[in-house]
Chains A and B, each alone.
Chain A
Amino acid sequence: MAQRRDTTVLEGLAGDLESGYGAFVRAHADDVYSAALRLSGSRADADDIAQETFVRAYRALRRFDAERLRSLEARPWLHTITLNLWRNRLRAAARRPRTAPGDRHGDVADGRPGPEDAAVAGEASRALVRLLAQLPEHQRVPVVLRHVVGLSYAELATVLACPVGTAKANVARGLDRLRVLGRADAAGATGAETR
């Protein structure tokens, strides 16, 4: 479904980039923003990174010819840009240490209609975001892109520039690591009494 929508949006771009770009941004905004949010852990950073992704994408698309536009795999292409922007930011941040870390992990209650018990779900999600932040980058990126954003393994392999098998393995290792972290978290919490 996402695929089908993709092609029509791209047809629109091939026809008229200026007027079709709004639909293109709308079609991919949630994907790109989610990736940026769960990688960076901050809403403000995510907004910046995601906006910048689409600004850069537009400048690149302007140089594409119609043929290249039609064959473009928009999702992996956009996420490659997002990933690069995020990494650049990490590097820049490492060079000038920040005094105020801001909201490192981002809040989770998205205002999205939660299931029955939104409070519990929000609590669980917050904990999961905390665990996700503890994953090393080479596992966090595949887990976020595959399971939060919903890229296919083929798309993920394109973003990571690695074979599909490697992408799958990295996702699996990331999930295993999350589970280990989750158990450690729960065990640590028993002493301190959660909530």
Chain B
Amino acid sequence: MTSARPRDGSPRAARPVPVGTAALRRLRAEAPAAFVESVLDRLGLHAGDRFVVMAGPAGDVFVAFNDSGISAVVPAARFDGDAARFAEHHRRTAGRAVAAAARPPAGLEAALRTGRARRLRYDLSGLSPFERAVLTKTLEIPPGEVRPYGWVAREIGRPRAVRAVGSALGRNPVPVLIPCHRVVRSDGHVGQYGFGVSMKRALLSAEGVDLERLQRLADAGVRFIGSDSTGVFCVPSCHHARRIRPAHEVPFRSAAAAFVAGFRPCAHCAPASGRNAS
């Protein structure tokens, strides 16, 4: 009702200053960049991150977090469980101090126990948009399943950036929770891992991935498994693929071969592009 449109009716007006509500709204400003930190500093509140030690699927982990979400996960064994060394490491890598928290953020304990960590919030602010896209996609891989590096690259719309996906996963600040260990080489080898290949294997075994079976299939050149009763094909670790009875299992060396045989890609594991086709 009081929305004032600038009046240009007055004949002598040079250019009346727009005084309407829209013009006033534009006077809203953002607080200076360091505003929140300054306030917390003055109050003596800890402006950096906080951390807890939690039992993880392959040993204890230090988990750091702040208002935005979880900012770091590091196996405690790496620092012999020494919190001071972890704090020093965190200051160096994240650029923030970290102090012990009274209790873990909501949902963290369950996420570590079940391997389902999609609902947690993460602070990925130090990463590039590409790295964030890789990690966000990786977060979709359910426990007990693995995907090739190329799958992540294709799913984020950068099918040729397979190596870059590997590097981005190598810089994952929140491993275990964002499951970069579930991204493996398409030849059946588990691939690299920031905390060592044996930890990657341990994490995968702990959530029920049959590494020997995957290796066997890869050695035989099998990349996908189809079911001749449903006409659907999957990546071998997809939980739908694991339910196919041996009698109905149809191995494929490529997605193209599966398509030629009249199979369509599984909607859950998206083994090939065109997951919405048919």
Give chain A's interface residues, CB within 8 Å of chain B: 16, 18-19, 21-23, 25-26, 29-30, 32-34, 37-38, 46-47, 50-51, 54-55, 58, 108, 110-112, 121, 124-125, 127-129, 131-132, 143-144, 147-150, 171-172, 175, 178-179, 181-183, 185-187, 189-190, 193-194
B67 CB-CB contact with A under 8 Å: yes
Q: How far is the CA of A190 from the CA of B39 in the complex (A)?
A: 46
Quick one: closest B residue to A26, CB to CB?
A: B36
Asked if A21 and B40 sit within 8 Å, CB to CB, the answer is yes
Taken residue by residue from 94 to 112, chain B's Cβ proximity to chain A (1 for < 8 Å, 0 otherwise) reads as 0000000110000000000
A128 to chain B, nearest CB (A): 5
Partner of A110 from the list B6, B29, B35, B102 (CB cut-off 8 Å) is B29
B50 contact set on A, CB distance < 8 A: 19
Complex alpha-carbon distance, A110 and B25, angstroms: 13
The CA-CA distance from A61 to B66 in the complex, in Å, is: 21
Is there contact, CB below 8 Å, between B21 and A186? no
Query: Shortest beta-carbon distance, B46 to chain A, in Å?
Result: 8
> Please, what's the 1-or-0 string for B240-252, where 1 marks a CB less than 8 Å from any CB in chain A?
0000000000000
B31 at the interface (CB under 8 A from A): yes
- A75 vs chain B, min Cβ distance (A): 14
Q: B24–A112 contact, CB under 8 A?
A: no
- CB of B257 closer than 8 Å to a CB of A: no
A147 touches B10 (CB 8 A): no
Query: Cβ of B43: which chain A residues have Cβ within 8 Å of it?
Result: 21, 55, 58
The interface residues of chain A lying within 8 Å CB-to-CB of B15 are 186, 189, 194
Task: Select one of B13, B47, B67 contacting A23, CB under 8 A.
Answer: B67
Considering the chains assembled together, what is the distance between the CA atoms of A104 and B35 in angstroms?
Answer: 21
CB distance from A9 to the nearest CB of B (A): 10
Give chain B nearest CB distance to A152 CB in angstroms: 14
Interface size class of B (residues with CB under 8 A): 35 or more
B39 to A175, Cβ gap below 8 A? no
Contacts of B7 in A (CB 8 A): 179, 183
B23 touches A54 (CB 8 A): no
**Which residues of chain B come closer than 8 Å to A131, judged between CB atoms?**
17, 19
Identify the closest chain A residue to B65 (Cβ).
A19
A and B contact pairs by CB, cutoff 8 A, 30 listed = A19-B101, A22-B40, A22-B47, A30-B28, A30-B30, A30-B31, A33-B29, A34-B29, A47-B32, A47-B35, A51-B38, A54-B39, A55-B39, A110-B30, A121-B26, A128-B27, A147-B24, A148-B25, A149-B28, A171-B2, A175-B4, A182-B17, A182-B18, A182-B19, A183-B16, A187-B10, A187-B12, A187-B13, A187-B14, A190-B13
Q: How far is the CA of A50 from the CA of B15 in the complex (A)?
A: 34
In whole Å, how far is A140's beta carbon from the nearest beta carbon of chain B?
11
CA A190 – CA B31 in complex, angstroms? 36
Tell me the nearest residue of chain B to A53, going by C-beta: B39
The complex places the Cα of A124 from the Cα of B18 at a distance, in Å, of 7
Query: Does residue B42 face the partner (Cβ distance < 8 Å to A)?
Result: yes
Tell whether, in the assembled complex, residue B23 and residue A125 are in contact, meaning their CB atoms are under 8 Å apart. Answer: yes
- How long is the Cα–Cα vector from A128 to B16 in the complex, in angstroms? 10
Q: Which of A32, A47, A150, A194 contacts B25 (CB 8 A)?
A: A150
